[in-house]
Structure 1
Amino acid sequence: MRELRLVAKLGDWLIFLVAIGLLLWWFFRRFYKWLHEPPGHRIRKLADSGEVLRDEAVEFLESHGYEVLSGKHRIPLGVKVDEGPLQPTRLYFDYLAVKEDLYYLVKLEKARMPIEWTASGLRDRLMIYSLLFPDCEGIVVADPAQRWVRTVRFKVEDENG
């Protein structure tokens, strides 16, 4: 009887050690995959995720030399203030496009919420996209109705100049 309990205890430990080993192996593989992921992998994955509906905006961007890869993206975010509950929100951009092998996020100008074309206005409205997708060359802001396209890029400067 005593030997049976000892065998059962050893079996429990063996199962526990195998489970821990598998968990450690899984974490190592995930870390290794993340570490060796090629630059731009996240952007290419995003490009494959959305479908492009042919509309006036897509044709307008193509007439300016952009190839629209995907459209209408929604990025879910959570916001937590102090110890309060996690509040869901979303960040939207209209298209992911490529021009001369460089990736761009595209925002269409909306009449109800126009962009303020000052350095601080652009920072407040668009810099989050550059931070979320550092592999992108910039953010293209387009207005197909008014027939204009502008590219916004952010550069971190040092304090001295």
Structure 2
Amino acid sequence: MDRVGDWIIMLAAASIMGWWVLRRLDRWLHEPPGSRLRQLAAAGGVEEDDIVRLLREFDYEVLSGKHRIPLRVAVDGQPSMPTRLYFDYLAAKESKYYLVKLDRARQRMEWTASALRERLLVYALMFPDCEGILMVLPQEQQIKIVRFKVEDGEE
């Protein structure tokens, strides 16, 4: 009799686990695009400063500021090493999201295609629901929008 009872308990536990996994999978599959960005927007606060005012002058709504994304890197099976990826603000305009990076004096942006790719492509790949990356040039009081597009075909 103990064996039948053990099987019933095992089947009940497996059923509950299966139901939970299917529910999580269904929720993940039906998650709307941009939900990760909305979570970031809800998580961060915004302090009023010159950059926020500049973004508002250009009709951007600043949703949150100063984000740090923790990453781990492993090479050839060695223990993984921690690192971080930073962006300054998350903004929206006309229901489209934009990551905001500042052009800092100590690390000026080089405006060539290869330099933009090396420095900003990671953000576009991590947040594909973003419309683009806003580069704020505080000294010039300018905002430039950087977008990446994968071209079809070979050269």
| TM-score bucket (shorter structure) | over 0.9
For residues 79-90 of structure 1, the aligned pairs below 5 Å read 79-90=73-84
TM-score (normalised: structure 1): 0.91
Separation in 2 of the partners of 1:19 and 1:135? 38
Question: For residue 138 of structure 1, what is the aligned residue in structure 2?
Answer: 132
For residues 34-53 of structure 1, the aligned pairs below 5 Å read 34-53=28-47
The CA deviation at 1:160 is 4.5
Which amino acid in the other structure matches residue 17 of structure 1? L
Which amino acid in the other structure matches residue 98 of structure 2? Y
TM-score (normalised: structure 2): 0.95
- CA RMSD for the aligned pairs? 1.2
3-state SS of 2:144 partner:
strand
Question: For residue 63 of structure 2, what is the aligned residue in structure 1?
Answer: 69
- Percentage of pairs with the same residue: 57
For residues 3-22 of structure 1, the aligned pairs below 5 Å read 7-22=1-16
3-state SS of 2:63 partner:
strand
3-state SS of 2:128 partner:
coil
* 14-23 or 148-157, which deviates more: 14-23
3-state SS of 2:17 partner:
helix
Gap regions ≥5 residues in structure 1 = 1-6
Which amino acid in the other structure matches residue 153 of structure 1? R
